[in-house]
Amino acid sequence: MTELADPDVRAVSPARSRYQSDEFVARLRRRYAAEQRFKYAGMAAIGLASLMLVVLLGSIISQGYTAFQQTSIALDITFDAAEIDPQGTRNPEVLAQANYAKLIRDSLGTVFPEATSRADRRTLSDLLSSGAPFELAMMVRDDPSLVGTTKRVWLTASDDVDQFMKGFIPRNVAETERRVNDVQVAAIDRLASKDSIEKSFNTTLFTAGDSREPELAGIWGAIVGSFMTLAITMALAVPIGVSAAIYLEEFAPKRWWTDLIEVNINNLAAVPSIVFGLLGLAVFLNFFGMPRSAPVVGGVVLALMTLPIIIIATRAALKAVPPSIREAALGIGASPLQTVLHHVLPLAMPGILTGTIIGMAHALGETAPLLMIGMVAFIVDIPGGFTDSATVLPVQIYMWADSPERAFTERTSAAIMILLGFLVLMNGLAVFLRKKFERRW
């Protein structure tokens, strides 16, 4: 206190002038300049990252948005009773087995009477999807009174016509260089002039399973497969992961073996995912004989992969709860378990949820381990249970990207958009839950 009277300290002026010297001012300016440079570098990094994101999203969307539309062709179909149901019994089995392809051929014959040769008629039939007769069969099954009438119906066009309509198959090249020949081009033009060909929203993409024909292929089977797999993953990984983290963080004594476990968990999080697939193949398929391509096996494998992520996130969230809360609860006689369940866990919840959802999003986008356990199979049916054969979204994308048809290119991008949509949804959920459960202390 008495130092103020000290003569040494009173000699302030020379010391102060040191901070006003040219050298000091120059150094100060250099410090500010360094700060500015750092700021610009950071802004440049963010700009570059944003640009890459825009390029990525832009290329996917520009390639994929056309897949949400599908060309269809309107034909006046005569549901000839003699052809469909000669006995007149309206027996569904008979109705289902009728030759609907012939109805389509007859209808095309009336629209294009000039096409008499067998080759031309076949070429015209190829305008329509190979699934078109099946669509007619479904109509008759749903409404047997159609038999004996003539009705204008919209039928799915083949993928080549669809691509032609979308402009991916150019008109002005030699006939041999495009998949739509001159006869078909003329026919499409004729249909267009009669407003009998148009693009509409592609519901098939969202309701159908996989198919070899792009116009009949849909993502629904993969979505169902993905969600069954994720359900198994979540049911296994969340309770096990959270319990393990609580034990390790709150109860386990600090010994060499807990350190060992911790190191191993951290390393497991960095193990390439295909290794988990190999493990699943060796243990679940070969040893336990579980079904191939099934969501239950996929879910177990992804749960093994997600466990370390959830454990690490949960431990971090538990660590972040201030120790004063634990002391407060223990201090009034709460048991250690009550302390954790009543006070620590609720406070750690936002962090745990975020970690869990990020782990789940990770699992949703995982491909490699599922290839190993056979979820890469070509599966047309929508899976009806956890042991049915199924595939998942990223694997579906992988398989479509591998298909040669031009129409699968846009569907691949569309599937990527759908997958990204689900990921955005899950991350949005994580943000929402974090905001909802966040509490001050």
Binding footprint of another protein on the chain (CB under 8 A) = 253-254, 322, 324-335, 338, 342-343, 347, 439-441
CB of 430 to another protein, least distance (A): 21
Give 231 or 261: the residue with its C-beta nearer to another protein: 261
Give 129 or 339: the residue with its C-beta nearer to another protein: 339
Give 326 or 362: the residue with its C-beta nearer to another protein: 326
Q: Is 221 left (phi over 0), alpha (psi -120 to 50) or beta?
A: alpha
What backbone torsions phi and psi does residue 153 show, to the nearest 5 degrees?
-125, 150
Classify each residue of 274-285 as buried b or exposed e, where b means 16 or more C-beta atoms within 10 Å of its C-beta: eebbebbbeebb
CB of 343 to another protein, least distance (A): 6
Residue 257 · residue 415 · CB < 8 Å: no
Residue 68 · residue 205 · CB < 8 Å: yes
The tokens for 270 are: 């960095």
CB of 308 to another protein, least distance (A): 24
Residue 441 · residue 322 · CB < 8 Å: yes
Q: Give the whole-angstrom CA distance, residue 415 versus residue 223.
A: 10
- Element of type H or E holding 397: helix 393-401
The tokens for 425 are: 């949804």
- Radius of gyration of the chain measured on its C-alpha atoms: 33
Give 153 or 348: the residue with its C-beta nearer to another protein: 348
CB of 339 to another protein, least distance (A): 10
CB of 350 to another protein, least distance (A): 12
CB of 324 to another protein, least distance (A): 4
Q: How many CB atoms within 10 Å of residue 186?
A: 13
CB of 435 to another protein, least distance (A): 15
Burial of 134 (0-12, 13-18, 19+ CB in 10 A): middle
CB of 11 to another protein, least distance (A): 30
Give 95 or 347: the residue with its C-beta nearer to another protein: 347
Listing from the earlier edge strand, what are the strands of the sheet with 197-201? 150-156, 69-78, 197-201
DSSP for 288-344 reads S-PPTT-HHHHHHHHHHHHHHHHHHHHHHHHHTS-HHHHHHHHHTT--HHHIIIIII
Give 50 or 338: the residue with its C-beta nearer to another protein: 338
Give 82 or 332: the residue with its C-beta nearer to another protein: 332
CB of 53 to another protein, least distance (A): 37
Give 257 or 441: the residue with its C-beta nearer to another protein: 441
Q: Is 383 left (phi over 0), alpha (psi -120 to 50) or beta?
A: beta
Give 200 or 338: the residue with its C-beta nearer to another protein: 338
Closest Cα partner for 414 from 69, 5, 172?
69
Give 16 or 439: the residue with its C-beta nearer to another protein: 439
The tokens for 388 are: 């049915």
